[in-house]
C-alpha cells in the first residue's frame, strides 16, 4: 500500500476507503511527511526537551530548540529520554557535542576485531554552562545511552530515573542460505567516555526517582533540588 501511495511531491492519488459497508473515494495530494522526534516546553524556568528517538536531524533540531528555550528564560535544561530506544548513533553523538567543550570524549566504538574508533568533540558546543538533568528509564537504550553517558561522565549532566536498558552493541543481519531467515551478528560495541561497557548493564543514575509522571510534565519526576 505504501509503495502505491508514494510519488512525486505535489502529485495526486486516488484512494478508496471502506467504512463499514460503505466505500468512499478521496483524492490526496502527496506531500512530505515530517516525523517530529523532539518536543519541548517550559515550566518554572526549566526548559524540557523530550527526545523520542535520535535521527540524523536531532542535533540540529535540539540546537534550535535550545535557543528558543533560552530566549524564553530557561535557566536549566531537562532532557526527557524515557522510552527512547536509541536510533542513529550520529544523532546521539552530535546532540551530545552541543553541550561539551572541545576535545572531550563522546564514545568509543570498538569493532569485533578490536579496532577502536574514538569519537570526541572538535570545538566547544553551543552551551557548555547551563545546568542539565537527564531523565531516563529502563527502556532508554542504545544511542540514547551514548548521549546520556557522554554528558554524565564528562560531568556535564545529572542523570535521574531508573537504570537504563543496556544496549551497547552494533549488530547486522546476515541472511541464511536459501533465504531461510537470518542471524544477528555483533560487529562492534560501545564504550563510554570512561571506557565502561554498558551492554546488558545499562547506566546507573545519580538519583533514583519515580518515572511514571506524564510525558507532558516530566518535572514531576525530578526533585526540585536538582532544578
Cite the active site residues: 142, 167
Three cell numbers, residue 94:
552530535
Is the Cβ–Cβ distance between 203 and 209 less than 8 Å? Answer: no
Cα separation, 194 vs 216, whole angstroms: 33
Q: Could you give the 3-state DSSP secondary structure of residue 147?
A: helix
CB atoms within 10 A of CB 69: 22
- Ordered alpha helix ranges (H), 50-182: 58-71, 89-97, 143-153
109 has which bridge partners?
117, 190
CA–CA distance, 100 with 124 (Å, rounded to integer): 6
Counting runs of H as helices and runs of E as strands, what totals does the chain give?
Answer: 4, 12
The Cα–Cα gap between 66 and 88 comes to 20
Amino acid at each position: 500500500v505504501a509503495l502505491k501511495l508514494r510519488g512525486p511531491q505535489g502529485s495526486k492519488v486516488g484512494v478508496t476507503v471502506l467504512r463499514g459497508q460503505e466505500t468512499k473515494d478521496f483524492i490526496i495530494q502527496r506531500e512530505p511527511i515530517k516525523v517530529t522526534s523532539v518536543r519541548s516546553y517550559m515550566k518554572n524556568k526549566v526548559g524540557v526537551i523530550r527526545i523520542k528517538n535520535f535521527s540524523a536531524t536531532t542535533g540540529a533540531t535540539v540546537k534550535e530548540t535550545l535557543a528558543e528555550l533560552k530566549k524564553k528564560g530557561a535557566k536549566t535544561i531537562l532532557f526527557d529520554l524515557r522510552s527512547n530506544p536509541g536510533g542513529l548513533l550520529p544523532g546521539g553523538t552530535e546532540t551530545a557535542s552541543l553541550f561539551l567543550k572541545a576535545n572531550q570524549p563522546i564514545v568509543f566504538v570498538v569493532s569485533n576485531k578490536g579496532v577502536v574508533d574514538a569519537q570526541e568533540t572538535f570545538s566547544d558546543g553551543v552551551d557548555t554552562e547551563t545546568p542539565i538533568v537527564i531523565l531516563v528509564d529502563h527502556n532508554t537504550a542504545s544511542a540514547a545511552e551514548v548521549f546520556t553517558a557522554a554528558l554524565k561522565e564528562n560531568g556535564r549532566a545529572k542523570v535521574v530515573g531508573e537504570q537504563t536498558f543496556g544496549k551497547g552493541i552494533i549488530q547486522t543481519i546476515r541472511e541464511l542460505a536459501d533465504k531461510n531467515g537470518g542471524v544477528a551478528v555483533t560487529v562492534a560495541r560501545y564504550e563510554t567516555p570512561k571506557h565502561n561497557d554498558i551492554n546488558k548493564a545499562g547506566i546507573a543514575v545519580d538519583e533514583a526517582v519515580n518515572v511514571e509522571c506524564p510525558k507532558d510534565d516530566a518535572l514531576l519526576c525530578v526533585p526540585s533540588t536538582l532544578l
